[in-house]
Amino acid sequence: MKIRIETAALTAPNISGVGHYTRMLTNNLATYSPLNTEISAFYFNFLSKHKDPELNKAVKHEKHIFMPQRLFTKLQSYNIPLPYDLFSSRVDVSIFPNFDLWTTIKSSISAVVIHDLGYLYFPETIEQRNLAHLRRCVPRSAKKADIIITVSESIKSEIIAEYKVPASKIIVTPIPADPIYRQPSTIDVATKYNLPTKRYIFSIGNLEPRKDLPTMISAFRSLPKEIREKYSLVLAGGKGWKTESTELAIKEAQAAGENVIRPGYIPQEDVPAFYQQADLFCMSSVYEGFGMPIVEALTSGTPVVASDIPVLREAGGDAILYAQPKNPEDFAEKILSILSNNPNSRKEMSDRMQAQVQRISWEKNVDTLMKSFEEALK
């Protein structure tokens, strides 16, 4: 079987969550698919101006250098269906990991990954340009795709309800963490990033409204003084959009002398160390597609407090503590309960964390995908 994956998200200067997913999907298909499977990565690199994606050596690169991706995307936005694979060889399956199923003429079946429907339920949290794109491409992609891949049962239910597609068309493949999160870190985070305290509570993700970081900041500020002096709150990630309320909450906390730290975008090679050396990971989102940071934290052996929403319960199971969304008092209570846990409680939580991590794997996901592709190709 020949499988081509659209990997444009891997050519961006700063790789997004979709980019990390695309890399993991591509590499693990190359690792776990049957021996007779050929995996290729398609991307634009106009006149070879950018660095090619770093992928598994078994992945064949299909680099197109004669058209800028921006021009191709613009043509798509005007409903000019230029086949992206016009100059490529024929494949059995084309996979589009970023919501948008491009026009193809050389693929027997096409699969699109729809990570979430945040653009429908929380449009105010999406950048306007991206919102217009998602409103245009996601309904079309859901209708045209032979297979829809998504990352949680919660999102599968939303896709069925909104687009009236049959459940049999949708494959759920929860995202495991990269094995790098199990490997001991080689840097000292507090020293390298000049944190005011050795110990810290960690959160990662672009600053955007649906992450609801003001709730987390308020929760931290309500912790007892001795806890706030002992721990920092480290909020990592890019700037995102509609950041005014979050940035105001950060500035007010810092002006009050609180240890609230914004290191900005962290290089991927340092992210595992941030998880592993944290005393606690916190996620206060009001909406997510899956909750990948929770899985990364659990894989790193770090306890988690997260919003009590269905999709985060899928990611965390019974291994983490949940707080009511937009409720700083509840978050503070759960954070304090973990930071003050006795050794027996920590051991019990650690056992649950490892059990949750083992429930999902890329090997299982690839097996599920390959069986679905084979069935669709019959």
pLDDT at 79: 66
- Helices 213-221 and 244-255: crossing angle, nearest 10°? 20
Q: List helix spans (H) across 12-79.
A: 17-32, 69-77
Average pLDDT rounded to a whole number, residues 93-112: 94
CB 366 within 8 A of CB 32: yes
Residues 6+ apart with CB under 8 A from 359: 317
Same domain for 199 and 162: no
Same domain for 9 and 90: yes
- If you write DSSP's letter for every residue of 177-231 in order, what string do you get? PPGGGGSPP-S-HHHHTT-SSSEEEEEES---GGG-HHHHHHHHHTS-HHHHHHE
CB 282 within 8 A of CB 331: yes
pLDDT at 47: 65
Q: What is the mean pLDDT of the chain?
A: 91
Average pLDDT rounded to a whole number, residues 285-314: 94
CB 206 within 8 A of CB 239: yes
Average pLDDT rounded to a whole number, residues 304-316: 96
Q: Is the pLDDT of residue 76 over 90?
A: no
CA dihedral 294, 298, 300, 305 (to 10 degrees): 60
Same domain for 302 and 221: yes
Same domain for 271 and 162: no
pLDDT at 164: 96
Q: Is the pLDDT of residue 238 over 90?
A: no
pLDDT at 95: 97
Identify the band that residue 143 occupies on the pLDDT scale cut at 50, 70 and 90.
very high
pLDDT at 126: 81
Same domain for 109 and 197: no
How far apart CA 360 and CA 367 sit, in angstroms, is 12
Between the alpha carbon of residue 342 and those of residues 88, 227, 349, 358, the distances in Å are 59, 16, 11, 25
CB 190 within 8 A of CB 270: no
Q: What is the CATH number of the domain that holds 267?
A: 3.40.50.2000
How far apart CA 33 and CA 199 sit, in angstroms, is 42
pLDDT at 349: 84
pLDDT-above-70 percentage for the chain: 97
- Longest Cα pair distance anywhere in the chain, in angstroms? 65
Between the alpha carbon of residue 330 and those of residues 172, 299, 335, the distances in Å are 31, 25, 9
Identify the band that residue 103 occupies on the pLDDT scale cut at 50, 70 and 90.
confident
Same domain for 263 and 239: yes
Among 115, 93, 97, 112, residue whose Cα is nearest residue 174: 115
pLDDT-above-90 percentage for the chain: 70
How far apart CA 132 and CA 25 sit, in angstroms, is 26
Identify the band that residue 17 occupies on the pLDDT scale cut at 50, 70 and 90.
confident
CB 245 within 8 A of CB 214: yes
Q: Which residues pair with 283 in a beta bridge?
A: 306
How far apart CA 156 and CA 146 sit, in angstroms, is 15
Q: Is the pLDDT of residue 133 over 90?
A: no
- The token pair that represents 252 in the structure block: 């007010």
Same domain for 256 and 294: yes
Q: List helix spans (H) across 61-204.
A: 69-77, 118-121, 128-144, 153-163, 189-192
pLDDT at 343: 66
Stretch among 154-163, 308-317, 342-351 having the lowest mean pLDDT: 342-351
CB 109 within 8 A of CB 376: yes
pLDDT at 16: 77
Which domain range does residue 10 map to?
2-176+361-377
pLDDT digits (tens, 9 = 90+) for 31-74: 999 999 999 999 887 766 667 788 999 999 988 877 887 788 77
Average pLDDT rounded to a whole number, residues 109-121: 95
Same domain for 53 and 10: yes
Stretch among 67-76, 119-128, 203-212 having the lowest mean pLDDT: 67-76
Give how many domains the chain has, as a whole number: 2
Same domain for 311 and 373: no
Q: Is the pLDDT of residue 8 over 90?
A: no
Question: Tokens 């990364």 identify what position?
Answer: 296
Q: Is the pLDDT of residue 152 over 90?
A: yes
For residue 36, the one-letter residue type is: N
* Environment class of 317 (CB within 10 Å of its CB; exposed 0-12, middle 13-18, buried 19+): middle
Identify the band that residue 199 occupies on the pLDDT scale cut at 50, 70 and 90.
very high
Stretch among 22-31, 108-117, 234-243 having the lowest mean pLDDT: 234-243
Same domain for 338 and 225: yes
pLDDT digits (tens, 9 = 90+) for 154-186: 999 999 999 999 999 999 999 999 889 999 988
pLDDT at 261: 97
- The token pair that represents 149 in the structure block: 């891949």
Same domain for 220 and 158: no
Average pLDDT rounded to a whole number, residues 294-304: 95
54: helix, strand or coil: coil
How far apart CA 163 and CA 159 sit, in angstroms, is 6
Same domain for 162 and 33: yes
pTM as predicted: 0.85
pLDDT at 14: 73
